[in-house]
């Protein structure tokens, strides 16, 4: 008799087995967080995120800056206090949306998910960019590239080239596709890759197995191969 899939894997599969545009990215991210926090109730943290979205939209509406990316970035890092966790990047809490919402810190990809949700609430359409080693966000109205990890700083292409070098890749390796939009399935696999690396490193075979099962699901859905980390 086939073994019943882990509850987190089943929830994840239920959320991502659909067209890419229909995937609820925060909900799927919270399903991933259940690998580390098995009793996590996604509804609680989705409510927290909705509250942040409503607060942000209301405050920026009151100041007349609701649709302005620069105002959102300032609010994101200032009023809300979101920032990148440089000192303890391998801490699994940085890859778990519930903890990122609670601690206001995490990896670039998790901070980008939060930023994109807040942006949508403010009428700013954004897309994720699967930049090597450092996830970014593009605001579609004006094409600006934003780095939620560094307080929503706006990056030029030259800034991105310098960022590539800081990730250990020479500028000569630059390709325009580094700034291509990332599908939701790709974003989720990249998140899973981060956790996989951590659990392998600490020898947590049980959680490695759960993450691998989720990777299989998202690969089947997105028809993608191995992703980039962070």
DSSP state of 123: T
pLDDT class of 228 with cuts at 50, 70, 90: very low
Weakest mean pLDDT among 64-68, 158-162, 177-181, 222-226: 222-226
Confidence of residue 85 (pLDDT cuts 50, 70, 90): very high
Dihedral, CA of residue 85, residue 50, residue 97 and residue 167, to nearest 10: -50
The band of 225, judged by pLDDT with boundaries at 50, 70 and 90, is very low
Write the pLDDT tens digit of every residue in 98-132: 999 999 999 999 999 999 999 999 999 999 999 99
Q: What is the pTM of this model?
A: 0.94
Alpha-carbon distance 156 to 110, whole Å? 22
C-alpha triplet 207, 196, 126: angle, nearest 5° = 120
DSSP states along 73-90: HHHHHTTS--EE--TTTT
SS3 track for 96-137 = CHHHHHHHCEECHHHHHHHHHHHHHHCCCCEEEECCCCCCEE
Q: Where are the beta strands (DSSP E) in the chain?
A: 83-84, 105-106, 126-129, 136-139, 145-147, 153-155
For 183-222, write each residue's pLDDT tens digit: 999 999 999 999 999 999 999 999 999 999 999 999 988 6
3-state SS class at 63: coil
């Amino acid at each position: 008799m086939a073994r019943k899939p882990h509850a987190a894997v089943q929830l994840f599969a239920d959320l991502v087995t659909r067209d890419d545009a229909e995937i609820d990215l925060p909900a799927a991210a919270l399903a991933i967080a259940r690998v580390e926090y098995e009793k996590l109730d996604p509804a609680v943290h989705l409510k927290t995120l909705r509250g942040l979205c409503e607060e942000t939209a209301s405050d920026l509406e009151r100041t007349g800056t609701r649709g302005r990316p620069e105002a959102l970035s300032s609010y994101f890092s200032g009023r809300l206090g979101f920032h990148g966790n440089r000192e303890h990047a391998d801490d699994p809490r940085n890859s778990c949306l519930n903890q990122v919402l609670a601690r206001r810190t995490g990896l670039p990809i998790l901070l980008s998910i939060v930023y994109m949700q807040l942006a949508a609430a403010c009428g700013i359409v954004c897309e994720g960019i699967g930049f090597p080693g450092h996830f970014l966000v593009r605001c579609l109205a004006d094409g600006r590239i934003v780095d939620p990890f560094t307080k929503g700083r706006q990056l030029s292409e030259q800034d991105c080239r310098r960022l590539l070098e800081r990730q250990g890749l020479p500028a000569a390796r630059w390709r325009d596709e580094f700034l291509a939009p990332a599908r939701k399935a790709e974003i989720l696999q990249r998140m899973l890759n981060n956790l996989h690396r951590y659990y392998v490193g600490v020898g947590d075979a049980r959680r490695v197995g759960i993450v691998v099962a989720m990777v299989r699901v998202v690969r089947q859905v997105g028809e993608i191969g191995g992703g980039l980390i962070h």
